[in-house]
Chain A
Amino acid sequence: MMPFGVQSYQWPSKNWPTAHPQNMGVESREFEQFLNYAFPENLDWSSREGVRTQSLLVIKDGVLIYEKYRTGFGPEKRHHTWSVSKLLANAFMGIAEKQNILSRQSRVVDFVGPRKNPDFQKMTIRDLLYWSSGFGWNESYEGNPLRSSVLEMLYGQQVKDVGDYVAGTPLSHLPGEKESYSSGDTNLLSLTLRKALKSDERYWSFPWKELFDPLGISSAVIERDESGTFLLSSYAHMTPRDLAKIGLLYLNDGVWNKKKILPAGWVYDSTQLSPAFRGRAKGSHSDKPVRGMHLWTNKENLRMNLRRPFPDVPADMFAALGHWGQSMVMVPSERIIVVRMADDRDDSFDMNRFIKLLLQSFSSAHLGASRK
């Protein structure tokens, strides 16, 4: 097993190489169960209930072996990826570190300037990447909209300059002390990159020049706030096929067709459990994944009384996850990428079951670590 070994692929810079699932070791009866789970029959779309997949893509060994789209979607249709966009913040920070524009140890204040609270000056880019800024941030959505910081940032008055809004939020913890999922941390990373690049023109072309063009991603749209800062928390749109290219980059340790895009070890570091993890919050679900560096992991930690969040999925699985069921799951040990774009309005979707059913549909000869 080579968790982050670089594979030699036919790189999908233009089109994905495709193969019939059966030629890649997929057993049809089991695969049928996986598909029935993702696209349940007799779904009443108007009820807004149940597993509501819009687009589904499965990549194995760098080959597109399956894709299915609901009516209204297709290979050329962009999706709103919601918080899957946060993976872009991870990628851009990695690229910027590789190019010596900034590093994880850099202090945020050196780019965005001081704020009233002296503890703000201690905050590093690493703290933001691990969602441990310490800001007293309220990340609640339509279920609990009152006093939501994120709704105020994206749809309220603060959309005029999201980075400045976040930086000025009072701290409830010291930076690095406690992790807490925040779209604010992401957009402050976005502003930090903007300032570190020193030129807005350079910042606005950075995603295309450094990531999308090298990977052959042509559908990407990243929306901005009124001031021009990319809303990396929530507003990247692209086709599932293009998104999966970023997944392939991460499965290959940040290398794309011999071109090193992310620093060595960046993907490994990104997929470790946040050092600011302090155990599961009381009453929180134990089946939710845990946080790495702006992505989600399936890591266990016995000392912290943390068991593997998805027990039937390999521990090296990591994912980018977004509102209403958007996801890209990467399993390095099986060299599998699954993109699922959806409109889940309840929490009936079970990620453990979904990935388990997929893994079960591969014959053992084509599956490594998770069967051993």
Chain B
Amino acid sequence: MKAWVRRLVIVSFVIVCLVVVALLSYGGDLLRMPKIGAGFYAKEFCSCYFVNQQSEEFCRDLVKQYIPLTELTIDLKTKSVMATSLGAQRKAQWVSERFGCVLNRL
């Protein structure tokens, strides 16, 4: 085996080991992140838009985080916001003048 191939095999093995260790210790937390991210997007956008009455453009910029926001749907009729992040979907609903928006559980 050529030296560079051997090096590549060793490096790949180390990377695989690190990923396995990371998944074993943080797997559950990592899997939860899209749900929490989508929850954040739905709730923050709902409050920004329906409670604090900022523009859609302002609210989109405000909520932006490094977790990708795949889709965000504003339903003006029901005053609700649906957000999707990495496959996870969450909904926040405006309920009243005093109590603003509420985020639904998963």
Contact = CB atoms under 8 A, between A and B. Distances in A.
Nearest to B35: A156
Interface in A33-85: 72, 77-80
Contacts of A157: 35, 105-106
A223 B99 contact: yes
A152 B90 CA distance: 14
Given A78-B52, A80-B48, A343 B62 contact: yes
Interface stretch (B4-12, B13-21, B24-32): B24-32
A209 to B, nearest CB: 12
B89 interface: no
A237 B105 contact: no
B74 interface: no
A328 B32 CA distance: 34
B86 interface: no
A158 B29 CA distance: 14
A154 B100 contact: no
A208 B100 contact: no
Interface string B60-88: 00100110000000000000000000000
Contacts of A226: 102-105
A208 B97 CA distance: 12
B88 to A, nearest CB: 11
A363 B68 CA distance: 51
B49 to A, nearest CB: 12
Interface size class of B (residues with CB under 8 A): 20 to 34
B36 A222 contact: no
Contact of B54 (A72, A146, A152, A156): A72
Tell which of A77, A155, A224, A237 has the most Cβ of chain B within 10 Å: A155
A221 B96 CA distance: 9
A356 interface: no
B55 A72 contact: yes
Given A80-B52, A221-B51, A146 B29 contact: yes
A146 B36 CA distance: 10
A145 B52 contact: no
A215 to B, nearest CB: 16
Interface of B: 26, 29-30, 32-33, 35-37, 39-40, 43, 47-48, 51-55, 58, 62, 65-66, 90, 97-106
Interface of A: 72, 77-80, 142, 145-147, 151-152, 154-157, 159-160, 204, 208, 220-226, 235, 237, 343
14 contacts: A77-B52, A145-B33, A146-B26, A147-B26, A151-B40, A155-B39, A156-B39, A157-B106, A159-B39, A208-B98, A221-B51, A223-B47, A224-B99, A237-B47
Given A146-B33, A157-B35, A237-B51, 16 more contacts: A72-B54, A79-B52, A80-B52, A142-B66, A151-B36, A155-B35, A155-B40, A155-B90, A156-B106, A159-B103, A159-B104, A221-B99, A224-B99, A235-B47, A237-B47, A343-B62
